[in-house]
Amino acid sequence: MSEPVLSLKDFRVSFNTMNGTVRAVRGIDIDVERGEMVGIVGESGSGKSVTFLGMMGLLPRSATIEGSAVLDGTELVGMKPKQFMAVRGKKIAMIFQDPLSALNPVHKIGSQIVEMIRSHEKITKAAAARRAVELLDIVGIPQPDQRAVQYPHEFSGGMRQRVMIAMAIANEPDVLIADEPTTALDVTVQAQILEVLQRIQKDLNTSIVLITHDLGVVARVVDRVQVMYAGRAVERAQVDDLFGESSHPYTRGLLKSLPSQDKDRLVPIPGSPPNMLEPPPGCSFAPRCDFAVEACTQTLPELVPFGRGETACIRAGELVGMMDHV
């Protein structure tokens, strides 16, 4: 793989609020290769959604965005709203958690897709309508020609998420950001939606960024994972390495709190994430970490190569093997 299609460098997002500046994302680097599926994992408030909303210019004006986000050679940070509109939907598209409320209730499914196509491409209505039916077929909606003339309320949640995906890929974007696309769906439907995403990744060679808090979802479909905590990346690895031998205590904590058959009880991570108004100067996980030492609270750790991945834990070397016994 050569040039990454999407590359974030030292990407920062902060919000000016009445209480002060909330630094939601504090320097994130992400490279997404063409045709790759990358998982972004973290708990609520870790900045995973904000990173990509900020990158796409979808945050309110109170947000300050710094750093660099290059999409296929185009710098997105500092782009004017007008230019953003041309990029969104054409080069990069995003789908959201709740498919039930993501479609406009007053228009037919087909015409919503047609509208989406025609806003970026100059083609006739009839051609766009044919394309809309094709897209519905691609995302696995049965009887797509009949379903296209129905309204959103006639679709189930999973079907609506498929429609959202169809709209998102309508103009064959380079990158598709899926922000918790399966969270609102039940497990069997989750699997189907992930299959649809995988098929799109393979067939259309679309890069997909899958934002989720569900490690199970990550394990199933993505190639690489980046774990986020308090607006920073704490670990970056191939998905198999992460589940085999994670290097960061936070990732370990996440894995331990995951239910599985050979576990009697789940071990939650004690405490709660830091206040982002005044994040701790050192490792932001240190206050909750069983292995924290004095040095952890002094300086903000950067991602450094470790094993086959990268980690932001300064004690990663010492901790290998130790953490399993906790």
Partner 1 sequence: MTEALTNIDPSLVVNPDGSSVRGDREGLTKSRLSPRQMAVKRYLHHKGAVVCTVIMAAMVLFVVLAPITARYGVNERIFDATADQPNSFLSPRAEAWLGTDAIGRDLYSRLIYGLRVSLVIGLFAACFATILGITAGSIAGFRGGRFDDILMRVTDIFLAFPFLVALLVVRNFLGEVSFLEPIVGEKTSLRFIIILFTIFGWMGVARLVRSQILALKEREFIEAARALGASNTRIISRHLIPNAIGPILVALTTAVVAAVIAESTLAFFGFGPDAGSGNTSLGNLVGDSKSAVQAGQWWLVLFPSGLLVLVAMCINFIGDGLRDATDPKLLQDGGN
Residues contributing to the site for partner 1 (CB under 8 A)? 56, 58, 85-90, 93-96, 98, 101-107, 115-116, 119-120, 151, 154, 164, 167-168, 170-171, 177
Q: Whole-number minimum distance, CB 21 to partner 1, in Å?
A: 21
- 3-class secondary structure, 126: helix
- CB of 92 or CB of 242, closer to partner 1: 92
- CB of 37 or CB of 103, closer to partner 1: 103
How far is residue 9's CA from residue 209's CA, in Å, rounded to a whole number?
16
- CB of 90 or CB of 130, closer to partner 1: 90
With CA atoms as reference, report the closest residue to 183 among 100, 118, 108: 100
Q: Whole-number minimum distance, CB 309 to partner 1, in Å?
A: 30
Q: Whole-number minimum distance, CB 46 to partner 1, in Å?
A: 20
Judging by DSSP bridges, how do beta strands 309-311 and 63-71 pair with one another?
unpaired
- CB of 25 or CB of 87, closer to partner 1: 87
- One-letter amino acid of 244: G
| Residues present in the chain in total | 326
- CB of 38 or CB of 167, closer to partner 1: 167
Terminal Cα distance for the chain, rounded: 39
Q: Whole-number minimum distance, CB 304 to partner 1, in Å?
A: 34
Q: Whole-number minimum distance, CB 171 to partner 1, in Å?
A: 8
Cβ atoms of 65 and 12 closer than 8 Å: yes
- CB of 170 or CB of 225, closer to partner 1: 170
How far is residue 293's CA from residue 87's CA, in Å, rounded to a whole number?
46
With CA atoms as reference, report the closest residue to 89 among 123, 129, 116: 116
With CA atoms as reference, report the closest residue to 218 among 228, 232, 204: 228
Q: Whole-number minimum distance, CB 81 to partner 1, in Å?
A: 8
User: Given strand 74-75, what is the order of strands in its sheet?
Assistant: 20-32, 6-17, 63-71, 74-75
